[in-house]
Structure 1
Amino acid sequence: MEQERMARGKEEKRRVILEASLECISRHGYEATRLRDVSEVAGVSIGVIQHYFGTREQLLGEALGHASGALMEHFASLDPSLLSPWEELRGMIGVVCGMPSLHGRGLLWLEMSSLARRHPELRERLDSVYVLWDAHVRAAVGRGVQDGSLAIDSDAGSGSVDDLTAIFLAFFDGYEYEIASSLVPDDPALLERRAVLLAERLFRPVRA
């Protein structure tokens, strides 16, 4: 029991440090973030950070992986066997819109995209998030087409599943850029409402 409590405490401390690292990357950028910055935000000493993560590069690399991993874990929790295709799509929209700090997350993804040109390992992390996000949407839409709950008819000019999925994902990419650039409000409810409106037009759920 005591060992379990200590293990949970260590995992929680790691999580706090990783979240603090992401906040610092959003504020200062990857290149300018220092262990001292993370230490101040996390409320722990630099020695504690080094104990858990070693070098600055190891810490920030794990932090970026933590950011993408959290999103993927939420997607994985949406069980297709318990949800209709439309419910699954709505669930994915809710996950993306419900992540903390849209503005900070937008800045983080912009930073990751910029860094990916110089750091191949970050390119892999970024690509893995997009591929999995794309696969989840595509699977839900394909299931809806198959069972008739989504009224997509590519022969009637509504677009293929590939086309519609690409448009849907591009909406989030563009909207996060606009939030990060302060061109639109950092308003999760507004983003979710607009995302649902777009999804309804693209995927055309059949109402029971």
Structure 2
Amino acid sequence: MMPPYAGQPLNAQICQEFDGVGMTSPRSRQRLIDSLLQQGILHDSRVAQVMNMVPRHLFVDPAFAQRSYEDCALPIGHEQTISHPSTVALMTQWLIAEQPIHKVLEIGTGSGYQTALLSALCSEVYTVERITELSYQAQSRLHQLQVGNVHFFTADGHWGLPDLAPFDAIISAASPETLPPELVAQLKEGGRMVIPIGAEPQHLYGFVRQGEQLQQYPLGDVSFVPMRKGVAQ
């Protein structure tokens, strides 16, 4: 049995106000979800429902909006990308698989798409972005969707948010060369972390904290932007 939702339900009426036509229509979004379900990539009904509500085209550059419901990464400016929907589905459903997530730390706000999904699945979302402009843009999009349980921070993701730890879960959309011990220290007992690690190639891992030990679960090869240090405008 799946754990219950812990997040705040998305306002379906507000989400529908951003529905497009043609390649940005709800039908296109449904086709993407159906494809992920048929491939067995997406198997958590909670994640499927939320992905089918959030208008992904709102989170990409208008020049790429027609490709929003393809299973591909798309540029969002500042040499950053919005991840493949299949990768988002894999990471999200692994993160919430075992227990309700009341407090999640997201490293790499990016466009805010993953953040929006987490807001509907987790009670409180703390999201860190090192690029100030991207953080502002994400805040604007989530404000449009009337999402109210997300806390935004502009900071170096390597360090997490130690003053707000511990977290039930941590998810990263950027790949460090090695697993940052600072993030591990901020994960509560029994907490789950999903993060890409490495330069080239990169590998996606899930971790579960048990005391001072981490159980490691390989989740496949991926391609993410590197986790860079410092804060940028």
The TM-score range, normalised by the shorter chain, is under 0.3
Q: Which has the higher helix share?
A: 1
Structure 1-normalised TM-score?
0.27
Structure 2-normalised TM-score?
0.25
Q: Which has the higher strand share?
A: 2
Compare relative contact order (CA 8 Å, sep 6+) and give the higher one, 1 or 2. 1
